[in-house]
Amino acid sequence: MPRLREADAARRLANGGPNYVEALARGLSVINAFGQERRQLSLSDVARATSLPKASVRRMLHTLITLQLADTDGRVFRLTPRVLGLAGDYLGSNRISTVVQPVCERISTITGRSTWVAVLDGHDMVTIAHSLPRYPMDLAPGIGVRHPAFCTAAGRAILATLDDAALDRWLEELRPEPFTQFTPTSIKAIRKCIVEARDKGYGETHQDMKVGDCGLAVALKRYDGRAVGALQVTGTLDDPPQKHIELLQAAAVDLRQQLI
């Protein structure tokens, strides 16, 4: 493995300490380079996405192929379905996803709308439960999908639970990009949306992610008051989800003693 530059080594040592496993971190960064818009990548693509040397990326990809987590046609690389086992292990061991899936199904049936629960991971919301009225629970799409927290109702709902100092630290590292002409991209405007969500007790969006779409979400808190995720219902401009706020709030109250 190529030696790290002294500056990089010092930074990573500070971030992870002496027990930090650089090889594991690099391997995971290669997996994370793939996504919905990056399903097939060349060696150079992965190197650019991870900021790793091509030699390191080549070894990481070879290891993933050996473990059957990736495959290649000799030109581009792609992840295999076996990667889903990693997500399955999380979902199976995580009490939150087990408890909230039936709630998503119930609310989706009542509202006729897409309903999902997501957890905050860095600057993204990651979906861990999702239901659509026309899909059986095992076929409901969206599990594992990532959405920017700053412009989703679920993200604003959970960010609203942070105190001012923690919120400012989160915003300092945010690099927002617009999805529609209605997406707020200035830190001041984004902070205002989150503070408004704190004042109202719920997060909402109006065409921030997709033209015509609206979102409404409440934070999900554990028995001890710690926020662990957010429950969201989506709607449209013609049928906004704001009328379902009491339903979401009641579900959040019911879940509080079950989330540990």
Helix, coil or strand: residue 175: coil
Distance in Å from the first CA to the final CA of the chain: 41
What's the whole-number mean pLDDT along residues 232-241?
89
230 and 125 Cβ atoms separated by less than 8 Å: yes
189-203 confidence digits (pLDDT tens) = 999 999 999 999 999
Q: Are residues 122 and 10 in the same domain?
A: no
Work out the angle at residue 259's Cα, subtended by the Cα atoms of residues 109 and 254, and round it to the nearest 5 degrees: 50
Contacts of 110 (CB under 8 A, 6+ apart): 247
> Which of 23, 52, 84 represents a domain boundary (last residue)?
84
> Which of 33, 59, 84 represents a domain boundary (last residue)?
84
Range of the domain at 214: 94-255
> Which of 34, 66, 84 represents a domain boundary (last residue)?
84
Q: Cα–Cα distance between 204 and 251 in angstroms, integer? A: 17
What's the confidence (pLDDT) of residue 16?
Answer: 62
Q: Are residues 39 and 163 in the same domain?
A: no
CB atoms within 10 A of CB 260: 10
What's the confidence (pLDDT) of residue 94?
Answer: 57
**pTM strictly above 0.85:** no
Does residue 119 lie in a domain region? yes
37-51 confidence digits (pLDDT tens) = 788 899 999 999 889
Does residue 31 lie in a domain region? yes
Does residue 148 lie in a domain region? yes
**Average pLDDT in the chain:** 85
138 pLDDT band, cuts 50/70/90, is: very low
Q: Are residues 34 and 110 in the same domain?
A: no
What is the radius of gyration, based on Cα positions, of the chain?
20
How many domains does the structure of the chain reveal? 2
Q: Are residues 240 and 158 in the same domain?
A: yes
68 pLDDT band, cuts 50/70/90, is: confident
Contacts of 23 (CB under 8 A, 6+ apart): 1
Q: Are residues 101 and 228 in the same domain?
A: yes
User: Is 21 or 58 the better-scoring residue by pLDDT?
Assistant: 58
Does residue 260 lie in a domain region? no
State what percent of residues in the chain have pLDDT above 70: 83
* Residue 171 scores a pLDDT above 60: yes
